[in-house]
A and B are shown apart, each in its own frame.
Chain A
Amino acid sequence: MIARRHLLATAALGAGALFVAPGLALATVPTERRFVFIIQRGAADGLDILRPVGDPGFAALRGRLIGEEAPGLKLDGTFTLHPALAEVGRMYGRGEALFVHAVASPYRDRSHFDGQNVLETGGAQPYAVRDGWMNRLVAMMPRSAEEAIAVTSTLPAALRGPVAVASYAPSALPAAADDLMTRVTALYDADAQLHAPWQAALEARGMAGAVTGTRQAPASLGQLAASFLVKPDGPRVAMMETLGWDTHSGQKGRLAAQLKNLDAMLAALRDGLGPVWATATVLVATEFGRTAAINGTGGTDHGTGSAAMLVGGNVRGGRVLGDWPGLMTASLYEGRDLRPTTALDALIAGAVAEGLAIDPDMVDGRLFGRAVGKRRVDGLIKA
Chain B
Amino acid sequence: MDTRPSGSSPPVLSSAAIALNRFGLGARPGDAPPTDPRGWITGQFARFDIRPAGFAALADAGALLDRYRDERQAARADAGDAATAKVAMQAGRRDFREEVQALYRAGVQARADAALATEAPFVERMVHFWSNHFCVSAENPRVTALAAAFERDAIRPHVLGRFSDMLLAVERHPAMLLYLNQAQSIGPGSPAAARAPDRRRGLNENLAREILELHTLGVRSGYTQADVTELARALTGWSVGPAAGFAFRPAQHEPGERTIMGRYYPQAGEAQARAALLDFAAAPATATHVATKVARHFAGDEPPSAMVERLARGFVASRGHLPTLYRALAASPEAWVPSPVKFKTPWEWTISALRGLGRRQVGAMQIAAFQTQLGQRVWRPGAPAGWDDVAASWAGSDALLRRVEVAQRLAAPLGDTADARTFAPRIMPAALSEATAQQIARSESPASAVALMLASPDFLRR
Asked, given contacts A113-B383, A174-B405, A176-B405, whether A153 binds B451 with beta carbons under 8 Å apart, the answer is no
- Which of the residues B8, B188, B400, B443 comes within 8 Å of A194, measured between beta carbons? B400
CB of B195 closer than 8 Å to a CB of A: no
> Given A111-B219, A112-B385, A187-B439, A296 and B204 touching (CB < 8 A)?
yes
The proximity string for A residues 22-65 relative to B, scoring 1 for CB distances below 8 Å and 0 otherwise, is 00000000000000000001100000000000000000000010
Taking the closest CB of chain A, its distance from the CB of B213, in whole angstroms, is 6
Count the A-B residue pairs with Cβ separation under 8 angstroms: how many? Answer: 180
**Given A171-B398, A192-B5, A193-B391, are A181 and B209 also a contact pair (CB < 8 Å)?**
no
Contact A154–B457 (Cβ < 8 Å): no
Does B209 lie within 8 Å of A302, measured CB to CB? yes
The answer to whether B2 and A296 touch across the interface, beta carbons within 8 angstroms, is no
Tell me which of B152-160, B168-176, B179-187 binds A: B179-187
Interface residues of B in 373-403 (CB under 8 A from A): 373, 375, 382-383, 385, 391-402
A144 at the B interface (CB under 8 A): no
Min CB distance B215 to A, Å, is 13
Query: Are the C-beta atoms of B456 and A187 separated by less than 8 Å?
Result: yes
Residue pair A167, B397 in contact (C-beta under 8 Å): yes
Interface centre among B225, B375, B391, B456, by most A CB within 10 Å? Answer: B225
CA distance A126 to B455 in the complex (A): 34
A175 at interface by CB-CB < 8 Å: yes
A88→B391 CA distance, assembly (Å) = 37
Residue of B nearest to A116 (CB): B383
On whether the beta carbons of A299 and B225 are closer than 8 Å, the reply is: no
Query: Which bracket fits the contact residues of B?
Result: 35 or more
Residues of B close to A109: CB separation below 8 A: 219-220
Q: Does A179 contact B (CB under 8 A)?
A: yes
Q: Is the CB of B405 within 8 A of A154?
A: no
> Are the C-beta atoms of A295 and B457 separated by less than 8 Å?
no
Is A217 among interface residues, defined by CB-CB distance under 8 A? no
Q: List B406-462 residues whose CB lies under 8 Å from chain A.
A: 406-409, 435-436, 439, 442-445, 448, 451-452, 455-457, 460
Q: Are B204 and A249 in contact (CB under 8 A)?
A: yes
Instruction: List chain B residues, Cβ under 8 A from A175.
Output: 405
Q: Chain B nearest CB: distance from A317 CB in Å?
A: 32
A155 CA / B451 CA spacing, docked (Å): 25
CB proximity to B under 8 Å, residues A164-201: 166-169, 171-177, 179-181, 183-184, 186-194, 197-201
B421 shortest CB reach to chain A, Å: 14
Indicate with 1 or 0, residue by residue over B183-223, a CB within 8 angstroms of chain A CB atoms.
Answer: 01110100000000000111111100100010000011000
Closest Cβ neighbor of B399 among chain A residues: A154
In the complex, the answer to whether B6 meets A180 with C-beta atoms within 8 Å is no
B457 and A180 contact, CB distance less than 8 A: no
Q: Which of B1-19 contact A (CB under 8 A)?
A: 1-8
Q: Which of A186, A249, A334 contacts B184 (CB 8 A)?
A: A249
A364 contacts chain B at the CB level, 8 A cutoff: no
Taking a contact as CB atoms under 8 Å apart, the answer to whether A197 and B451 are in contact is no
State whether A180 touches B455 (Cβ < 8 A): yes
Decide: A155 near B396, CB < 8 A? Known: A113-B385, A187-B457.
yes
Residue A204 is within 8 A (CB to CB) of chain B in the complex: yes
Give CA–CA (A258, B457) in the complex, Å.
39
User: Chain A contact residues: over half helix, strand or loop, or mixed?
Assistant: loop
Given A192-B6, A193-B1, A204-B397, A180 and B200 touching (CB < 8 A)? Answer: no
Chain B residues near A198 (CB, 8 Å)? 397, 400
- Alpha-carbon gap, A243 to B406, bound state (A): 26
Nearest A residue to B6, CB-CB: A192
**A295 and B404 contact, CB distance less than 8 A:** no
Given contacts A111-B219, A179-B444, A296-B185, contact A153 B399 (CB under 8 A): yes
Residues of chain B within 8 A of A166, CB atoms compared: 397-398
| A residues less than 8 Å from B188 (CB atoms) | 296
Q: How many angstroms from the CA of A172 to the CA of B373 in the assembled complex?
A: 8
CB A94 to nearest CB in B, in angstroms, measures: 35
Among B3, B186, B452, contact of A180 (Cβ-Cβ < 8 Å): B452
> Which chain A residues lie closer than 8 Å to B439 at the CB level?
183, 186-187
User: Which of A154, A169, A198, A296 is most buried by chain B, counting CB atoms within 10 A of its CB?
Assistant: A296
A199 to B185, CA, bound (A): 50
Q: Which residue of B lies closest to A194 (CB)?
A: B457
Give the docked Cα–Cα distance between A168 and B397 (Å): 7
Determine which of A171, A172, A244, A249 lies in contact with B401 in the assembled complex, contact meaning CB atoms within 8 Å: A171
Interface of A toward B, CB cutoff 8 Å: 41-42, 64, 109-114, 126, 152-155, 160, 166-169, 171-177, 179-181, 183-184, 186-194, 197-201, 204-205, 243-244, 246, 248-249, 294-297, 299, 301-302, 334
12 A-B pairs in the complex with CB atoms less than 8 angstroms apart: A112-B385, A171-B405, A176-B407, A183-B443, A184-B455, A190-B8, A193-B3, A294-B200, A295-B202, A296-B186, A296-B201, A297-B202
What residues make up the interface of B, taking CB atoms closer than 8 Å to A?
A: 1-8, 139, 180-181, 184-186, 188, 200-206, 209, 213, 219-220, 225, 343, 373, 375, 382-383, 385, 391-402, 404-409, 435-436, 439, 442-445, 448, 451-452, 455-457, 460
- Give the 9 A-B CB pairs with smallest separation, nearest first: A296-B202, A190-B7, A201-B397, A154-B396, A197-B397, A173-B405, A179-B444, A200-B397, A192-B6
